Amino acid sequence: MAESLGIGLLGLGVVGRGVLEALQGNAQAYEVRCGRRLEVRAAAVRNVAARSGLASAGLSISDDPMAIATRDDVDVVVELMGGEEPAADCIEAALSAGKSVVTANKEVMAKRGPALLDVAERGGGELRYEASVGGGIPIIGVLQRDLQANDVSSVRAIINGTTNFMITAMSRDGMDYADALAEAQRLGYAEADPTNDVDGIDAAYKLAILASLAFHARVAPDDVYREGIRSLAARDFGHARDLGYAIRMLATARRASLGLDVRVHPTLVSTEDPMAGVEGVLNAVAVSGDLIGSVVLEGPGAGAGATSSAVVADILEIAGRLASGQPPRRPRPLDTSPQFALLADIGVRTYLRLEVPDRAGVLAELGAAFAAEGVSIASVLQVPHPERSLSADLIVTTHACSDGAVDRVLAGLKRSSSEIELGVRLRIEDGCDDL
């Protein structure tokens, strides 16, 4: 009989139960694939009584994740609790004890990943985190292994299923923000407190991880510029469509001449762009490199099946490595102080929905404000305001200019007596660069 590998699960929620069921239900097949018998020996949960039915011979359940992370008979710790604490401390304790760890925790990996990878190297174990970004999309492994011969120039991604579901509902079904959020919550795609999703925090964690891998540089969540989707209205999707664009919550990391440009915000992308066709809770990641050109990976970004698939794959790789006596895979060294480009210095095109009084002279005032900052207007469309009879919406797009110049235009309008109010501001992605 093959030597067994002891596994400890920290968390038995939707994903944790999916991992447990996969490991138990496919035990024989997995043993053949990796050369080790995989035994889930312990699991930690918040409420032991609620999960007592999952206990079985050889599997104990407790409410002490640290105890399981450091148990002598646990070789691989699988962290699926979420949140920074106590997850990060449990991961560090397990790695310090020489164990290997598999995690789906994007917050921990974004904030403390490099430090924990150092702990893994010193302890002789391995830290794997494929499930932390993109669910079932194998993007971490692609960046670590398959594209390592490439000089990556950019990563573009839709990496939050909640916001993509809401954006799809607003675009396809004409829902407003509140109704789209309520529907996402009803279907279980959004939490009762949706802040991390709708304000771009979750996507910023994931982009920090992807950018760190793509550019071999330390990119922290605070280095990522982010805006959420709360200001979007259903009519913005119609206006964008009339201009030949779709709106997507796009996470972008790229090399610009002024440094790394790393940001998450709603973006107008061409309807011909592959990202425009990514709908519902699907995720997609596009990577551009000097040798491969561009490659796009698309698939389910969340859910028990997709995330469990990535977690179990990491477990099998660790088990196979241990069975063959191979040393752990070590990450490439990181640039710990990369240069970041300020968004104000980046050249972009911009979409503005401005609410204006329906009177003569407004366009002249608007044109003067743009001209004062050297911002060239590409198009203007005036449409009736959907709720105010004495107001109109002006849909303005600009030619490429620094994002800071648009900041100054909007600040000037706010200070003036023009009564022009900003409804929403969105960047248009069409290959502009820093100016």
In the chain, % helix, strand, coil (3-state, to 5) comes to 40, 25, 30
Q: Which of 171, 172, 198 is nearest to 184 (CA)?
A: 198
Whole-angstrom Cα distance, residue 214 to residue 155? 8
- Token pair 């494929």 is found at 130
CA–CA distance, 52 with 45 (Å, rounded to integer) = 10
The secondary structure element, H or E, covering residue 258 is none
User: CA-CA-CA-CA torsion for 27, 31, 36, 40, nearest 10 degrees?
Assistant: -10
Strands (E), 173-258: 225-226, 245-256
Catalytic residue among 99, 106, 111, 206: 206
Question: Is 414 designated active site?
Answer: no
Structure tokens at 190: 């959004």
DSSP 397-418: EE-SEEHHHHHHHHHHHHHSSS
DSSP string, 80-129: ---SSTTHHHHHHHHHHTT-EEEE--HHHHHHHHHHHHHHHHHHT--EE-
* Token pair of 107 as six digits: 């917050």
Residues with catalytic roles: 206
